[in-house]
Structure 1
Amino acid sequence: MLIGVPKEIKNHEYRVGMVPASVRELVHNGHEVIVQQDAGIGVGFSDQDYIDAGALVYPFATDIFAKAEMVVKVKEPLTVERAMLREGQILFTYLHLAPDLAQTKDLIDSQAICIAYETVTDARGGLPLLAPMSEVAGRMAIQAGAQTLEKSNQGCGLLLGGVPGVAPAKVVIVGGGMVGNNAAQMAVGLGADVTILDRNIETLRNLNIQFGNTAKVIYSTADALEKEVLAADLVIGAVLIPGAAAPKLITREHIAHMKAGAAIVDVAIDQGGCFETSHATTHQDPTYIVDEVVHYCVANMPGAVARTSTFALNNATLPYIIKIANMGYNAALKSDKGLLNGLNVMNGKLTCESVAEAHQMQSYYVPAEAMIK
């Protein structure tokens, strides 16, 4: 199979779909890889590094999309990239379609086979291709939140861990999954006053065992959520429903009654965000203010630590890339239920029910199993 790796073009996105070691592995398996010029420069890899690994380097994205049977990316294709997709071509990347109607329509029109990292599952129902970026984003959320609280960034001027004689900042984490867990580890490590809310009793038990008395673990009711959010200095939104739009758990009214200079970091922004006042921002212009609350809603947060993120992502995606390349998409999807769960769009149909429901496009929905021969 001929696999193509274009350069990412989203604002301040430096990650790359495949590192040279991944290219070498595919070449070793008998496949061809083409890489766009400077695709890996943001994570420290030159074009020569890819050539030495066995790839061919082409100057333009048009070359990659025109030639490749499978395109491997990191972020969702932007409008100019979606226009280059063609019928029968495989796209393997993060898609986050539930909050993005324009992308959903374009992928349907492209007739391409679009497999989303974020809905691929493992044997236990976990999300193996989302997990590494959730780990990064959770840890980064506390870094971003700490900076956002600084007075120079229009925050209230609090140090997360406080100092002797001065209380630490109160950090509330909404969602105790992979993102929330990693955010809590960082916040606890910095000495913050940490509270985690979740509705899954088993998750709460595990968090309680993990953190003991270093973090408060609370069952999330409307009353508990309101109480904790209004008392918080920093709120981390870490709620995920795989493939679906994130629920708007923190309302405009909650925001209006938060402390002046408090901060929120909405890690769920890729799926539309879990704050009613959220809208996606970029690393170039990461924050805005609503009702004196500073909002940090960068949609590709892990892109800021591109080298760490790229290696973590490649470790997870490479076995799936090899499987698809070795077997072809049809046989690979048929043999792996978890990979099949990643199929979101195929031959002009939506194969992810959550996306169809989010956009009220049920007429386009066909179960993924029905699309595989």
Structure 2
Amino acid sequence: MSDRSSAPTQRSGEIGARVESFVREIVIPYEHDPRRDTHGPSDALVRELRTKAREAGVLTPHILADGNHLDQRETAYVLRQSGLSPLGPIAVNTAAPDEGNMYLLGKVGSDEQKRRFLEPIVRGEARSAFFMTEPAEDGGAGSDPSMMQTTAVLDGNHWVVNGRKAFITGAAGAQVGIVMARSNDGACMFLVDLPDPAITIERVLDTIDSSMPGGHAVISIDNLRVPSDQMLGHSGEGFKYAQVRLAPARLSHCMRWLGACIRANEIATDYACRRQAFGKPLVDHEGVGFMLAENLIDLKQSELMIDWCAAVLDTGAPGGSESSMTKVAVSEALMRVADRCVQTMGGTGVTGDTIVEQVFREIRAFRIYDGPTEVHKWSLAKKIKRDWKGQP
């Protein structure tokens, strides 16, 4: 994929090149490390990889030494390079949910909150979790955040939070939590130190994906007392802050998984060019060669969608509809890419011998996380109706 529609800036090009070199040379050999299981890489493995990233000067590469972020188009290039291995974003500290939480804290947090909660995450010394989604059996918030059941009641100079959360990525082992709850004013966000005895992990779910440390947990919150100065922003503005986080976060997912699918396609292409069947390499059979050609088309279209959405966000626009369109287009395109890579490699494609099988699983989950395809289409359809002005 060297023929890019928009060349990176000199700054992002240099950073991205260092990240790509680090991921290919240092991180990829860890892909068969036994310290990975169905709930993600162990904290020991995360620490080891981040130590190596720190030594290589590529830890948290999208945040500069002065605390400023690369813009979204620059970030797209760097995060794509980090995604060339499922372990890459974890190693260089560009992974969800930390990347999105860093962005949110940088935009909304007070100076003291940034010092206490943001800086350890940026340094790669702490992992974080974002407590928003709630269990379906409780009738709680999922794709519809207005259904939030978790409550926050002011008691003196503390807020008392009660409720349950589900699919909380990385809660097991996290040191920083951002908890969403509903006060009399509306949705709120609170910063909490983890672990906390009032927050209990009921269970870590067995899910189709396995790239994120700590997996995805169901959580009980029982009389969690949070000092008032640990509210993020203002009471009642939590949904606004969620959009500050979620629009760029959807795009960041697209960036990272584009990198993973580029790598999966490299592996499938190598296999098809080496493997012989019926007297010639697989790639010379139209059924296989055409799949790889279609992969190039989907990868390029994904790249273009990401670049377009990033450019919109860089103007300061909210980017809600643009990020919805991009999330749908890219997740569906990358699902096709991952599926074709598995199909091209046949039996080998469904084994753990390469990352192709894992990428397929991760992309399948990506079609749901940060809003299922159908919810984004529904949101876009509502916008179409709002913008309709009658007969042309």
TM range (shorter): under 0.3
TM-score if structure 2 supplies the norm length?
A: 0.26
Q: Whose helix proportion is higher, 1 or 2?
A: 2
TM-score, scaled to structure 1: 0.27
